[in-house]
Amino acid sequence: MSRRSQVFHDIFSSILEGDADSVLKLINSALQKEMSAEEILEVALVPASIQVLDKYQGEDFYIPDVINAANAIEVGLLSLRPYTKTSQQKHEKMVIGTVEGDIHDIGKNIVSLYLGYAGFDMIDIGVNVSPEEFVKAVQQHQPKILGLSASLTTTMGEMERVISALKEHHLRRSVKILVGGGPVTREFALNIGADAYAASARFAVSIAKSLLKEEYAD
């Protein structure tokens, strides 16, 4: 394994171990060795984040381990932000929350971190959010995109209730809806009338940007 590959491997492993201090030290060392922030993000942080979410959704991690890993990811993203071109440019507002009856937030938090890192003005309204609370958030913040998260098969149906509530308040056409979470699928997203589905934080960034382009084209 080359020295470069070893650094990426060490960052990846430190994230999975939830060792934020090591992640910060390794990233700073990599930057000093003229490794780019984008390369560190794509080769180490994104794959580690995907694995954290996969383990979380598969219940292979204890919750404290997931929280520590998420904190390590956040530290990594924040340390890279000053070195990226996109960090200085703010895009439109996006509201994100976990639907009613669901208190899981690790996946939502990681997605929110990546979108914020990519320049979106993120407004996280938390977990167990009712359709009425989503409606109020859209009315108050007037986001271009609304992100709905669900980690349980028993709560994913709440996403459709949110969309119905937005229609009742004549807000559906004013906001693009992006859905995601462990049990959610692209087919489900289409069936409930969402605009898009993201399987991971990495895809959420590119899909959210595509939704903005569609909005401006409309």
Q: State residue 88's pLDDT score.
A: 46
Over residues 59-65, mean pLDDT: 64
What crossing angle do the helices spanning 46-57 and 201-217 adopt, rounded to 10°? 110
**CATH code for the domain defined by 89-217:** 3.40.50.280
Mean pLDDT of the chain: 89
Q: Nearest 5 degrees, angle CA 72-CA 23-CA 4?
A: 135
Tens of pLDDT, residues 135-184: 999 999 999 999 999 989 999 999 999 999 999 999 999 999 999 998 99
Q: Which residues contact 111 (CB under 8 A, 6 or more apart)?
A: 96, 147, 149, 180, 198, 201, 204
In the chain, where the domains are located: 3-86, 89-217
**CATH code for the domain defined by 3-86:** 1.10.1240.10
Q: State residue 192's pLDDT score.
A: 98
Q: State residue 107's pLDDT score.
A: 82
Q: State residue 90's pLDDT score.
A: 57
Q: Name which of 51, 161, 27 is nearest 106 in CA terms.
A: 51
pLDDT at 132 over 90: yes
Over residues 56-61, mean pLDDT: 54
Q: State residue 170's pLDDT score.
A: 97
Name the pLDDT band for 63 (thresholds 50, 70, 90).
confident
Q: State residue 87's pLDDT score.
A: 45
- Greater confidence, 65 or 28? 28
